[in-house]
Amino acid sequence: MKQTILAIDDEKDLLKTFQNILKKKYNILITESGSAGLKILQEKNIDLVLLDIRMPKMDGIKVLKEINKLNLGIETIMVTASKDVSSAVEAMKLGAFEYTTKPFDVEELQIVIEKALEKRSLVKENIYLKEALAQATSYCDLIGQTPVMKKIFQTIETIAKNDSRILITGESGTGKELVALAIHKKSQRAKKPFIAINCAALPESLLESELFGYERGAFTGALERKPGKFEQAEGGTIFLDEIGCMPAKMQAKLLRVLQDNQIDRIGGTSPVQVNIRIVSATNINFEEAIKNKTFREDLYYRLNVIPIHLPPLRERTSDIPLFLNYFLNKFNKDLNRSNKGYDTEALRLLKTYQWPGNVRELQNIIERLVALSSQQEIGKEEIENTLNLKGKVFPQVEIEENLNSAVANFEKRYITKALEESNGNQSKAAKILGVARTTMISKMGNLGLKQN
């Protein structure tokens, strides 16, 4: 799609010159007055303005100030006679990209135009990506726009309002705790505690006291009563991570909690009633664990009322660019760095890499790259060194779509859905999207969507 340039100048011959030298590569709109030019800017999707400084009624400086008020992110090149250079410098202080003097060199003008449009494209891409990321991460810090992730988001919406037990499965590093937290945040228990405990991180003796608590004098060193995680989560949600690693004795005690909603403190003489929701997670194969008698079948069915399976990152590769830019922005801010992104080959490596550690591994790798990179743009060699890929045969998997396409497709679907929900009413659709109507119309033009 051609980019659009608006030329505003009171000299008709100069406007015709602009048309003749630029029409093959760009869409060219022309007008002889500043006020007419401002009207076009509000009605059309313009990428660049060629603006004469000396014009009757409204000169170029006044027009530039009005363009700034519109806040459309449009680049402006001032066109001026050599004696008006001081005015051109003033215009640049007001945000103009560059100025050219009459008579101008055609080749030099074309170079300046290309640079200005390149800047415009970069700014637009950055805005689009940030907005796409905002939409992608707005669901309780979960990132994803692939169909499988959207289905998980819908499942969370459906199940969050009731207290059914949920079992989240998936490989390590896929974000199981984030899903559990999202369920809690969307539930009626959101204002109560969310307590997480890793069942694989503690030995059996400590796990029991951590979960159920103990009475004073229950064992040497128990100088006072200590409530366990179940009591601490009262009214809220307890997240039992790595539930598949829970010892057999603890499985039996947990089964009683699920049956009676009661816990027994170590050293206690009477049960304690608890009101909590239980969400569990594991990366083990339960069928094998039950077959090998390392996990109780009756407990499994008690926990697995509603299953949610998180796919590994290698099965949702079109989400990888979102993660890459999300973590790049995060660590640029956290580490006070200014990395601008990844070159094409680096992006290919990052997207085709298998990510055995999933999102957690990707996060750690991007933090390391941002911290150690000496370049403005992270390159292929840095990726190979960080992931230890030197000398290895790396599978050349074709990238489904580049970053710009991924973001554009996301926006296109999102805007189309908003228009469908509003029966084509652009004002209502813009309200659903949370943007100004003019912003939405501009995006529609860039994305090739019909503007009825």
For residue 130, is pLDDT > 70?
A: no
pLDDT number for residue 91: 86
Burial class of residue 392, CB neighbours in 10 A (0-12, 13-18, 19+): exposed
pLDDT number for residue 129: 59
Please check whether residue 147 lies inside any domain of the structure.
no
Please check whether residue 240 lies inside any domain of the structure.
yes
Report whether 239 contacts 308 (CB < 8 A). Answer: no
pLDDT number for residue 341: 86
The answer on 340 and 278 residing in a single domain is no
- Beta strands 237-241 and 277-282: pairing type? parallel
Of 313, 345, 374, the domain-final residue: 313
The answer on 355 and 410 residing in a single domain is no
* Separation of alpha carbons 284 and 281, rounded Å: 9
- 267-293 burial string, b = 16+ CB within 10 Å, else e? eeeeebebebbbbbbbbeebeebbeee
Domain containing 322 — which CATH number?
1.10.8.60
Mean pLDDT of the 194-222 span: 91
Please check whether residue 149 lies inside any domain of the structure.
no
Please check whether residue 140 lies inside any domain of the structure.
no
For residue 131, is pLDDT > 90?
A: no
The answer on 324 and 309 residing in a single domain is no
Please check whether residue 152 lies inside any domain of the structure.
no
pLDDT digits (tens, 9 = 90+) for 435-452: 777 777 777 877 777 766
Of 313, 347, 369, the domain-final residue: 313
The answer on 201 and 302 residing in a single domain is yes
Domain containing 93 — which CATH number?
3.40.50.2300
> How many domains would you assign to the chain?
4
Range of the domain at 423: 403-447
pLDDT digits (tens, 9 = 90+) for 272-320: 999 999 999 999 999 899 999 999 999 999 999 999 999 999 999 888 9
* Separation of alpha carbons 177 and 279, rounded Å: 9
pLDDT number for residue 247: 93
pLDDT number for residue 215: 92
The answer on 171 and 294 residing in a single domain is yes
The answer on 348 and 221 residing in a single domain is no
Burial class of residue 196, CB neighbours in 10 A (0-12, 13-18, 19+): middle
**Is the whole-model pTM more than 0.95?**
no
What would you report as the CA-atom Rg of the chain, rounded to the nearest whole angstrom? 30
Please check whether residue 396 lies inside any domain of the structure.
no
- Integer distance in angstroms from the first to the last C-alpha of the chain? 19
* Separation of alpha carbons 363 and 238, rounded Å: 26
The answer on 189 and 290 residing in a single domain is yes
pLDDT number for residue 370: 93
Please check whether residue 255 lies inside any domain of the structure.
yes
The answer on 106 and 23 residing in a single domain is yes
The answer on 326 and 287 residing in a single domain is no
Of 124, 140, 175, the domain-final residue: 124
* Among 85, 81, 39, CA closest to 58: 39
The answer on 173 and 298 residing in a single domain is yes
Domain containing 199 — which CATH number?
3.40.50.300
The answer on 297 and 167 residing in a single domain is yes
pLDDT digits (tens, 9 = 90+) for 141-190: 788 888 899 899 999 999 998 999 999 999 999 999 999 999 999 999 99
pLDDT number for residue 265: 92
The total of other beta-carbon atoms located within 10 Å of residue 438's CB is: 17
Report whether 151 contacts 174 (CB < 8 A). Answer: no
Please check whether residue 129 lies inside any domain of the structure.
no
The answer on 49 and 116 residing in a single domain is yes
For residue 397, is pLDDT > 50?
A: no
Question: pLDDT-based confidence at 406, cuts 50/70/90?
Answer: low
What is the helix (H) or strand (E) element at residue 266, kind and residue range? none
